[in-house]
Amino acid sequence: MPSNNCYDVTTWPVGDPAKDVGEVINSIIADIKDRQSVNDADDGGKPGAVIYIPPGDYRLRTQVVIDVSFLRIEGSGHGFTSSSIRFNVPEDEWPDLHELWPGGSRVFVDIPLDGGDGDGTGAHGAEARGAAFYVERTGSPRISSVEFSDFCIDGLHFTPDGSGLHPENTYVNGKTGIYVANENDSFRINGMGFVYLENALTIYNADALSIHDNFIAECGSCIELRGWGQASKVTDNLVGAGFKGHSVYAENHGGLLVTANNIFPRGASSVHFKGVTRSSVTNNRLHSFYPGMVVLADSSENLVATNHFLRDHEPWTPFLGIDNGVDDDYGLLSVSGNNNTVVGNHFSQIIDAKGIRPAGATPVVIRLTAGAGNFVSNNHVVAKDVHATSSDSCFSAQVDALLTTGASESLEVTAVKVDSESARNTILDSGTEEQVIADRSVNAVRAIPAIGV
């Protein structure tokens, strides 16, 4: 027989999901809490529920507040398509485009951002007020097993920020897709689409979190794991933040796995760890238009292995001249901390020497800025000086840049630089004698033999 724990937003009798799906989902959650009020009935009592969002467009004007465990909100398609490309196409060409908006099971965030306190935001402030889905429950046990699957959260538009950029290119609008405010266990975000949100995912104090197989792009910041956390994973996602934010950021986490992600350019960083220990960044494809691609800040005993780093130039006309404010001697990978392992990575530094900042500097690939006992081995550095070009076509410009490997000169780089605040490190086979800058009296260095010497 049909389960009364399966809901469809289009058949629920309260509210109109086309006009405000937030009101509908909040009403459903209230019904779940009303019916599942006993915490121990026949060795059960609160099984939770599934809320289904069929393919279609659903305006969200009321923040969804989730304070029950075992809740799955699911759709039938992540619906991602590039809003950035559309908004940078001349408006007189829009009628000829096949579609103008993301699709699938699409929730578009239209919450009034009037500076009021809103519902359920506590001490988390304005960022939480702009969240489409706000998760908060205190007490014991922690809220557990909340899942978001297979639908699109669309922030619609970005807004002017005083920079003079086209408003749709600022990555600013005060909107967040999913905001988790306190301790949580075994949450899952799978198969989702996030687009044109200032913050796609902001999650505090996560334990055994899974962020898997999502499309998270054209957002100010994509994945931010804040507070603290353990034993979580960010795997198999397609991710790309804006120039002001992080693609993947984590602080005070242990046992975090960041693996097999394809991280697009334009984020201020691809992966940024702060106070993270005993975690892994492995088998990712990382692409950036700026230095500072991966940062381990005050982070120790982490593994960075078998990743492909590509740093090249912004080829798309609307974003020319924009960067993350980091100089080329900062390093594509910057490490401060103890006993980290950096092995078997491929680095492609494909840039125009005339654009190096500061002028006359030698770009750095791996930089150890502080700490001790770090192990750097068998990394391959390819450095080319190319003539940077640009195009009004985002897709063709990017593909052309990715596929061009010939007709370029070698670029002088520092493969590994060890600052004076870092010592007792081991650097093996990651650069020639001239490409490794380190005090040999306090660091162990074995250089790659130079050809012909």
CATH number at residue 397: 2.160.20.10
Count CB atoms within 10 A of the CB of residue 116.
10
Residue 265 falls within a domain, yes or no? no
Stated pTM of the model: 0.93
Distance of CA 446 to the CA centre of its chain: 35
Say what the pLDDT of residue 188 is.
98
| Domain end among 163, 178, 200 | 163
Q: How high is the pLDDT of residue 395?
A: 47
Length of the chain in terms of residues written: 453
Of 116, 136, 163, the one marking the end of a domain is 163
How many folded domains does the chain comprise? 2
7 with 144, same domain? yes
Looking at residue 36, what is its pLDDT?
Answer: 95
First to last CA, the chain: 79
**pLDDT recorded at residue 18:** 98
Please indicate, yes or no, whether residues 287 and 147 belong to a single structural domain of this protein.
Answer: no
Q: Is residue 442 part of a domain?
A: yes
| Residues linked to residue 300 through DSSP beta bridges, in sequence order | 277
What count of other Cβ atoms lies within 10 Å of the Cβ of residue 383?
22
Decide if 191 is inside a domain.
no
C-beta of residue 64 within 8 angstroms of C-beta of residue 128 = no
Rounded to whole angstroms, how far apart are CA atoms 282 and 258?
6
d(CA 370, CA 423): 8
pLDDT at 118: 44
Domain that holds residue 426: 270-317+325-453
Is there a single domain that holds both residue 285 and residue 154?
no
Residue 245 lies in a domain: no
pLDDT tens, per residue, the chain with 453 residues: 357 999 999 999 999 999 999 999 999 999 999 999 998 888 888 999 999 999 999 999 999 999 999 999 999 999 998 888 888 888 888 888 898 888 999 999 999 886 444 454 556 777 799 999 999 999 999 999 999 999 999 999 999 998 888 898 899 999 999 999 999 999 999 999 999 999 999 999 999 999 999 999 999 999 999 999 999 999 999 999 999 899 999 999 999 999 999 999 988 999 999 999 999 999 999 999 999 999 999 999 999 999 999 999 877 677 777 788 899 999 999 999 999 999 999 999 999 999 899 999 999 999 999 999 999 999 999 999 987 665 555 445 555 555 565 556 899 999 999 999 999 999 999 999 999 999 999 999 999 998 875
Q: Is residue 244 part of a domain?
A: no
In a domain, 186, yes or no: no
Same domain as 286, residue 154 = no
pLDDT in the model for residue 210: 98
Q: Which amino acid is at 197?
A: L
* Distance separating alpha carbons of residues 73 and 51, to the nearest angstrom: 5
Q: Could you give the maximum distance between any two Cα atoms of the chain, in Å?
A: 80
* CA distance to 53, 69, 70, 168, 316, per residue, from 85 (Å): 27, 38, 38, 10, 10
Does a structural domain hold residue 212?
A: no
- Structural tokens at position 24: 């509908």
Q: Using the structure block, give the residue that is written with the tokens 């304005």.
A: 126
Are residues 397 and 315 in contact, defined by beta-carbon separation less than 8 angstroms? yes
Final residue of a domain: which of 107, 131, 163?
Answer: 163
- How many other C-beta atoms can be found within 10 angstroms of the C-beta atom of residue 89? 16
Q: Flag whether 126 is in a domain.
A: yes
How is residue 213 written in tokens?
Answer: 């197989």
- Per-residue HEC secondary structure of the chain comes to CCCCCEEECCCCCCCCHHHHHHHHHHHHHHHHHHHCCCCCCCCCCCCCEEEECCCEEEEECCCEEECCCCEEEECCCCCCCCHHHHHCCCHHHHHHCCCCCCCCEEEEECCCCCCCCCCCCHHHHHHHHCEEEEECCCCCCCEECCEEECCEEECCCCCCCCCCCCHHHCCCCCCEEEEECCCEECCEEECCEEECCCEEEEEEEEECCEEECCEEEEECEEEEEEEEEECCEEECCEEEECCCCEEEEEECEECCEEECCEECCCCCEEEEEECCECCEEECCEEEECCCCCEEEECCECCEEECCEEEECCCCEHHHCCCCCCCCHHHCCEEEECCCCEEECCEEEEEECHHHCCCCCCCCEEEEEEEEECCEEECCEEEEEECCCCCECCHHHHHHHHHHCCCCCEECCCEEEEECCCEECCEEECCCCCCCEECCCCCCEEECCCCCCC
